[in-house]
Structure 1
Amino acid sequence: NGEVELAFRARAASGTTGTIRVDLASAQGATTWAETTVTVGSLPACAPSWQWLKAYGTGDVVSYGSWNWVALRPSILNPPSWQPRWLSPAWERVEPCA
């Protein structure tokens, strides 16, 4: 689909402003870049932690791996980070949390 998800963590004091630049190069040598200015703020609170063997319904929000996730369909055994290719995703990562 041509999309790449990029996630990283940076630590800075709240209110700090800085620039993030990402450079990309294809196997054929084509290059491009993107740059954005960000201001560091406080992370949102984490939702209740995902629990093994707990049944979740569509729209439920949990935290897992320092991220909040929302259930896209009912789920009971699969942690949010587990996304097999042969099933439609059960979870969508929403935002980092603390």
Structure 2
Amino acid sequence: MTITEKQKRWLKAQAHHLKPVVLVGQRGLTEGVFSEIDHALNDHELIKVRINAGDREERATAINLIQERSQAVLVARIGNVAIVYRANEKKSAPLVVPHF
């Protein structure tokens, strides 16, 4: 899935008021964390993930792994919080991303 920079800015604005849904702690990315991320993306499509463990490079690696495993798009990364998006057409009221 590819989205444009304008769509990313729009999604970032939509995520501004959201609280982090998934928290990654000292144990890192476990199967349970990936399961929660997948479940949250199915339910919400646009989520924030807070990564509290490791230094900057470890957090970047974790975010890349989250993208690969969940097949989601990284909208933005602000400090230790990542905003990720994955469309779910099966949802009763899917998030409609405008086409710029």
Shorter chain as denominator, the TM-score bin is under 0.3
**TM-score, length-normalised on structure 2?**
0.28
**TM-score, length-normalised on structure 1?**
0.28
Larger RCO (CA under 8 A, 6+ residues apart) = 2
Larger Rg: 1
Query: Which structure dedicates a bigger proportion of its chain to strand?
Result: 1
Query: Which structure dedicates a bigger proportion of its chain to helix?
Result: 2
